[in-house]
Amino acid sequence: MKLTNFIITTLIALSAGTAFSQEKYANDVYGFSIDFPDDFDEKDEEREGMDVISLNCYYNSMIFLTSCFDYKAEIPEDELNLKEVEALAITSDSFNSKFKAKKIAHWKVGSYEGLMTPIKGKVKDKSGKKMNFYGYMYALAIKDGVEYRLTILAPNKKVFNEKKATEFVNSFKIKE
């Protein structure tokens, strides 16, 4: 619960998003959809060399994150796996978690293949108190310059709801 409160506070402070009262998200521009377990927030922003859509949902002490990155440049076919590994490493680093390449597994959405890995670690809240977290990260790079990332976190393995996490990941679809 503490990790969720920390992440909620951080996300609210850093972004002014749009709240939706629906559970399904679909984006026709980037051709993907996903079902959230509860209401979600959306934030669209332009960063250097890319457009980013960030979605987040809080459900029973867990946080469900989805991001879509449009790099505005095609990713060469031979660099797709490298881009996915880089995405997992960057996400891991942003949560102060150790990235373990040996834990990487393949992940498939339709005819597209990506990578996934467990994530766990500790972060400090605003008061400096350390909090644990546990979850999974998924990354999928598409050759036309679009990358998708899913991250699911809970304060610990005991409260991590595998069923909800699996439903969330399995609901992710990309138009072929």
**pLDDT tens-digit profile of 26-61?**
999 999 999 999 999 999 999 888 899 999 999 988
pLDDT digits (tens, 9 = 90+) for 59-104: 988 999 999 999 888 788 888 888 888 888 888 888 888 888 899 9
Residue 12 clears pLDDT 80, i.e. is over it: no
Which pair of tokens denotes residue 81?
């796996």
Question: If one looks up domain 2-174 in CATH, what number appears?
Answer: 3.40.1000.10
